[in-house]
Amino acid sequence: MVKVGTHLVVDAWEAPTDLLNDPDRIRSAITDAVCAGEATLIDLCVHQFSPHGVTATATLAESHIAIHTWPEYGYFAADLFFCGQGKPEEAVDFLTTALQAKKITVKEIDRGFSLQANHPEKMKTYVY
């Protein structure tokens, strides 16, 4: 496999409801996580849903960070896809600490492609 980047798939919960519904706190957490990960921010969209929930999508020189919150569950999903330079683990640590999640799962996925000539045209796998 030719690896181009590391993708950390984060599910985090038992976080404070008010924090997960505050777009300013989410904006601050994601921009500080970009710094902690030694990444370069190109663009940031933060959107608040009604009646609750915040989505933030950061476009990076290294790829992206996205976060989606469900304050009613005390839960948020985060994705940190870093190619080349950068420290995604540090960004995850910062983000989950800033948003005060007590329970965290992280799936680490190598992103890239196969050089095998006999690789099937389409392949689907389920990840639990």
Which residues bind to its own copies, rule: CB under 8 A?
2, 4-5, 7, 9, 11-13, 42-43, 45, 47, 49, 55, 57-61, 63-64, 66, 68, 70, 73, 75, 77, 79, 81, 83, 102-114, 119-128
Min CB(32)–its own copies separation in Å: 19
For its own copies, the closer of residues 18 and 121 by Cβ is 121
Min CB(124)–its own copies separation in Å: 5
Per the CB < 8 A criterion, the answer to whether 95 and 81 are in contact is no
Verify whether residue 50 is a known catalytic residue: no
Verify whether residue 63 is a known catalytic residue: yes
> Number of C-alpha atoms within 13 angstroms, CB side, residue 45?
8
Min CB(109)–its own copies separation in Å: 5
Please tell me whether residue 113 adopts helix, strand or coil conformation. strand
Out of 63, 64, 114, 119, pick the active-site residue: 63
Min CB(37)–its own copies separation in Å: 16
Distance (Å, whole) CA 102 – CA 95:
12
Backbone torsions φ then ψ of 63, nearest 5 degrees:
140, -100
Longest distance between any two alpha carbons in the chain, whole Å? 52
Distance (Å, whole) CA 80 – CA 5:
10
What does the chain come to in residues? 128
For its own copies, the closer of residues 38 and 66 by Cβ is 66
Verify whether residue 64 is a known catalytic residue: no
Catalytic residues: 63, 68, 83
